[in-house]
Structure 1
Amino acid sequence: MNHRAPRYLLYALLREKKVNLNSLFDAFSRHEKIWLTSIPRPRAIALLALTQGLASVNIAALGAIAPSLEHELAIGNVAFGLLSAASILTGALVSLPIGILGDQQARVPLLTKLIYIWAAAIAISAISPDYAFLLVMQMVAGAAGVAVGPVIASLSGDLFPPSWRSRAFGLIVGGELLGAGIGMAVAGTINALSNWRVTFYVLAAIALILAYLLKKGMREPTRDNMSKLAQDVLIDHTPSSVSTQVGSVKADTKRYLLEDIKEKQIQPVATRILREDPTYWPWLKSARTILSIPSNVIFISASSAGYFYFTGLMAFGVLYLTQRFGLNTMSASLIFVGIGLGGVGGVIASGWLADYLLRRGIITARVWVTGISFLLTIPFFFLALQTSHNWLEITLLFFGAAALGATNPSLDAARLDIMHSRLWGRAEGIRISLRYILEAAAPLAFGWVSEYFPEQSCHLAQCRHGYGLQISFQIFLVLLAVATILLLIATHTYPRDVATALFSEHPTRS
């Protein structure tokens, strides 16, 4: 039998607009029920969240031990800043090949190997005799810590069905923020009790424990969940066959994501439906396909804008608070961590909200939640930077951090919705590379703007300490406004891109 016949039948059905979308929904409901009952969700989320936080742990730990490093290695602020920048840029480059491996190899063993590499690099950093040696080891650690991103994205797509992905990413991305807090707390405490070398040893030991738990506690999920679902699209289900196949799935079963595709007759873009399994495609062909999806380009751009602003806040937030309120570094750090808890809450809450709206039949819920979160971030931060009342400013910054954090999980889930499952790793590798390249430039951009507007240049009565950073934070809010506009456009492209990705899944066999 010609194995291409099902594909030709698909294109014929599309041209004649006779696609049986009822069968699409039935297949979705059946496979989603299997996914949700066959995976240990809490354990998987916890392990992936902890792994996601590796890069943040490293950066935060470096910040906590910065004075000790500068004193013992006789380096200045520029050399210290290069440690973080070099590790980030190395991770951005390594994410591309790791994304390819994530699409072609078993992902749990790959993730475990990356954790081992991170732990080894951190442990060896503890015996660094000079700055150059430490720089090289931090580049290795940064490469392994950042490169877990594409692998986690690919794993999450197969572990969690579409209706659950925003909630799952809300908890997993929360691990990235918690990782920064854990790294700062652990490193600061151990460094105060001992020295920075012991700090690195402790972090390496924690990573080894995580690798062991991941190896023993998570099994490799199957990659054919999405392809099985899409294969059923070509089956002409009669009422009797549907009831037989669905079995215990009741007629009033909640309809997620595909309900509007069925009711509104949303058709895929036939010219962009993949005709073959893209697992072993050449890199350039994969990249062209990934970047040819309109919604994906929009999501990458919006996400990069959000992370650019977030990195600027991370780099200069504590300094701004010390200048603004006249606090010492420790007090400013505690306030900054408290404000950051708003981001953790926003990350978790937005994932649940997006999936709730999805269950209410709003197919573009994830795009709307992200866009509105970007939009709300602007007035919260702008008003916080304008007020002269300290506690009001801190409160507004807390809600601004919550809104900025809320932009991440639903956008992460939406990127999987529009992408062929065998391209998840490479697609995330491209996004992470662009994200971290921009992140590396963010501190320089925020710092340059703040120096361009020194406090002495302000002649208004409401001028205050930290004026340059205040102006910098205000100017770059424009990026969040651009992200909001882009996501408004994505509400029109996203539904057809979801349908196109689904129809591209059949048949994919390694």
Structure 2
Amino acid sequence: MAVLALLAAVVGLDGADKATISVNARAIEHAFSINDAGIGLLVSVSSLTGALFTLPVGVLTDRVTRVRLLGTSIALWALASLASGLAPSFGWLMAARVALGAVTATAGPTVASLFGDFFPAGERARLYGYVLAGELVGTGAGYVITSGITALTSWRFSLAWLTLPALALSAVVWRTPEPSRGRQETLTSGRERSKDRGKPSSQGPAGEALPEAQDAAGHLAEESGVPVVRGQVLVEDPRRMSLWRVARYVLRIRTALLMITASALGYFFFAGVRTFALLFATRHYAISTGAASGLTLVVGTGALAGVFGGGRLADLLLRRGYLNGRVLVPSLALLLAPLALAPAFITTSLWAAVPLLTLGAALLAAPNPPLDAARLDIVPPGLWGRAEAIRTAVRTLGEFLAPLLFGYLSASVFTGADHLRDAFLLGLAPLAAAASLGFLALWTYPRDVATANASGPRRASA
């Protein structure tokens, strides 16, 4: 559980950092004489830098000691946060956020790869919920603590306060033991366990013990006789594959392509709302910044329920023999989320909006643990870091575009009294598109799971 908490703290730090800009948006606009579009640009350039750096980080993740890579990046993260608080001009602040985007790019690939090797694969979606809960808790803490620091001091201190927690987290990550690659536990039947008892373990290229099959989904696909995709079974050593070769391989996995696109659409909406959440709440519901920060905690309880419930439900369906559980749960949640969020954005009554926002947050958060687990199901373990880097790069491009587009729509297109509301409502369309892609993946996921299971290192070395 200590490692689980550590990985949750890493993504939580990222969430807290992104909240600092949202909390201080109005103060930054006043300090540097910019508008909503300027805030959107500030967030977007950081996301774009993260997208560009994610791909080389993915290569490093699959080839170097991951805890050292992550620990070093978090230390640089701390320095970039400090530079943000010291910014004498908007250009300086933007440069600091660019630097921060470069070092935070490490989190996605390394956390995904470490998680796959640290924890039982049969409970992957449920356990991923705890990691993603760290992002939600970090975001909520970022809103509350940053608001308090801003109220007591200034926006500069509230942009830099994460420096000390980041340095402390870096030291802990550095002392964490590196797990062997590809040694996730498998969920096998009692007969398979007893049949394999006493047999010598298979050895991979580096001599480490290898799992009998990739994971619970792989076993179920194998037992159900799901056919593999011919030409996609990986037979070479994944560590020797170039990034270009890995990208071509991953993007030929139909489920991966659908999930990458759906993830980008979902994070597009989330990134836009997260950037302007406090501005929207203060303007639309006529409440103070402190009250708006408190509102994020209330709504955050729904998001926490979503990440825990979504992962548990998906794994429950898997244990009961429904292979598509990790795809069906996210698809349904993404389909229902706009139905809760649209009326919450339209009403100006805070009391009416809170339960709808909380439900919408739960539905918006529920897809993440099962989708993260499903992405590991369809990719051989030796490619996890680079595959996640490709997914994160595309997702981060969505995060890059969202604040910029939301800010542009708010400042230049929608000219009514509630222009941010109109931008938020338009932003719901990508969620419906993401749900549609999820339902398409119901047909491709079983075969891609079977293919990844057949591409395991044991089979590749046979």
TM-score, structure 1 normalization: 0.79
Partner residue, 1:117: 76
Q: Secondary structure at the match of 2:105?
A: helix
The C-alpha deviation readout for 1:213-253, integer Å capped at 9, x for no partner, is 2222x211111326x979x9xxxx9998446559xxxxxxx
How far residue 292 of structure 1 moved from its aligned partner, in angstroms, is: 0.5
Partner residue, 1:370: 330
Q: Does 1:95 align with 2:46?
A: no
Q: Does 1:57 align with 2:16?
A: yes
Q: Is the 8 A contact 1:257 1:362 kept in 2?
A: no
How far, CA to CA, are the matches of 2:353 and 2:87 in structure 1? 42
Q: Secondary structure at the match of 1:272?
A: coil
Partner residue, 2:383: 423
How far residue 181 of structure 1 moved from its aligned partner, in angstroms, is: 1.9
1:499 maps to which of 436, 450, 455: 450
How far residue 51 of structure 1 moved from its aligned partner, in angstroms, is: 0.7
Counterpart code for 1:82: L
How far residue 418 of structure 1 moved from its aligned partner, in angstroms, is: 0.3
Partner residue, 2:217: 257
Q: Does 1:174 align with 2:133?
A: yes
Q: Is the 8 A contact 1:256 1:361 kept in 2?
A: no
Question: Structure 1 residues 473, 84: closer, same or farther in 2, change over 3 A?
Answer: closer
Q: Is the 8 A contact 2:324 2:442 kept in 1?
A: yes
- 1:384-403 matches, cutoff 5 A: 384-385=344-345, 390-403=350-363
Question: Structure 1 residues 212, 433: closer, same or farther in 2, change over 3 A?
Answer: same
Counterpart code for 2:111: I
The C-alpha deviation readout for 1:406-432, integer Å capped at 9, x for no partner, is 111110110011001111111111111
Counterpart code for 2:432: A
How far, CA to CA, are the matches of 2:342 and 2:303 in structure 1? 17
Counterpart code for 1:379: L
Counterpart code for 1:400: G
Question: Structure 1 residues 258, 416: closer, same or farther in 2, change over 3 A?
Answer: closer
How far residue 189 of structure 1 moved from its aligned partner, in angstroms, is: 2.3
Partner residue, 2:423: 472
Partner residue, 2:205: none
Question: Structure 1 residues 481, 130: closer, same or farther in 2, change over 3 A?
Answer: closer
Q: Does 1:149 align with 2:108?
A: yes
How far, CA to CA, are the matches of 2:226 and 2:165 in structure 1? 48
How far, CA to CA, are the matches of 1:445 and 1:240 in structure 2? 57
Counterpart code for 2:443: H
Higher relative contact order (CA 8 A, sep 6+): 2
2:146 maps to which of 175, 187, 204: 187
Partner residue, 1:333: 293
How far, CA to CA, are the matches of 2:441 and 2:192 in structure 1? 35
Counterpart code for 1:316: F
Partner residue, 2:206: none
Partner residue, 2:210: none
Counterpart code for 2:118: L
How far residue 442 of structure 1 moved from its aligned partner, in angstroms, is: 1.5
Q: Is the 8 A contact 2:338 2:432 kept in 1?
A: yes
The C-alpha deviation readout for 1:290-323, integer Å capped at 9, x for no partner, is 1000000010111111111112222333333333
How far residue 492 of structure 1 moved from its aligned partner, in angstroms, is: 1.4
Question: Structure 1 residues 267, 399: closer, same or farther in 2, change over 3 A?
Answer: same
Q: Secondary structure at the match of 1:270?
A: coil
The C-alpha deviation readout for 1:316-371, integer Å capped at 9, x for no partner, is 33333333333233323332442233122211221122112211111111101111
How far, CA to CA, are the matches of 1:127 and 1:317 in structure 2? 25
Partner residue, 1:132: 91
Q: Does 1:291 align with 2:291?
A: no
How far, CA to CA, are the matches of 1:201 and 1:443 in structure 2? 21
Q: Is the 8 A contact 2:70 2:107 kept in 1?
A: yes
Q: Secondary structure at the match of 2:237?
A: coil
How far, CA to CA, are the matches of 2:352 and 2:314 in structure 1? 29
Counterpart code for 1:93: L
1:219 maps to which of 177, 193, 198: 177
Q: Is the 8 A contact 1:116 1:208 kept in 2?
A: yes
How far residue 177 of structure 1 moved from its aligned partner, in angstroms, is: 1.9
Q: Does 1:485 align with 2:436?
A: yes
Question: Structure 1 residues 205, 299: closer, same or farther in 2, change over 3 A?
Answer: same
How far, CA to CA, are the matches of 1:453 and 1:135 in structure 2? 26
Partner residue, 1:25: none
Q: Is the 8 A contact 1:257 1:361 kept in 2?
A: no
Counterpart code for 1:499: A
> Which shifted more, 189-198 or 105-114?
189-198
Q: Is the 8 A contact 1:55 1:146 kept in 2?
A: no
> Which shifted more, 405-414 or 57-66?
57-66
How far, CA to CA, are the matches of 1:310 and 1:316 in structure 2? 10
Q: Secondary structure at the match of 1:279?
A: helix
Partner residue, 1:355: 315
How far, CA to CA, are the matches of 1:184 and 1:398 in structure 2? 16
How far, CA to CA, are the matches of 1:417 and 1:281 in structure 2? 20
Sequence identity (%): 38
TM-score, structure 2 normalization: 0.87
Question: Structure 1 residues 383, 58: closer, same or farther in 2, change over 3 A?
Answer: closer
How far, CA to CA, are the matches of 1:289 and 1:119 in structure 2? 35
Q: Is the 8 A contact 2:143 2:293 kept in 1?
A: no
Question: Structure 1 residues 202, 382: closer, same or farther in 2, change over 3 A?
Answer: closer
Question: Structure 1 residues 432, 282: closer, same or farther in 2, change over 3 A?
Answer: same
The C-alpha deviation readout for 1:384-420, integer Å capped at 9, x for no partner, is 3455754233211210111011111110110011001
Partner residue, 2:262: 302
Partner residue, 2:279: 319
How far residue 198 of structure 1 moved from its aligned partner, in angstroms, is: 4.0
Counterpart code for 1:180: T
> Which shifted more, 171-180 or 445-454?
445-454
Q: Secondary structure at the match of 1:136?
A: helix
- 1:35-114 matches, cutoff 5 A: 42-66=1-25, 69=28, 74-77=32-35, 78-114=37-73
How far, CA to CA, are the matches of 1:67 and 1:323 in structure 2? 11
Question: Structure 1 residues 283, 263: closer, same or farther in 2, change over 3 A?
Answer: closer
How many residues align? The count is 442
Counterpart code for 1:186: I
Q: Secondary structure at the match of 2:180?
A: coil
The C-alpha deviation readout for 1:115-174, integer Å capped at 9, x for no partner, is 111112223444444443333222112211232111111111111232121122211112
**RMSD across aligned positions (CA):** 2.9
The C-alpha deviation readout for 1:11-37, integer Å capped at 9, x for no partner, is xxxxxxxxxxxxxxxxxxxxxxxxxxx
Which structure 1 residue ranges, 5 or more long, are not aligned? Answer: 1-41, 247-254, 456-464
Q: Is the 8 A contact 1:104 1:280 kept in 2?
A: no
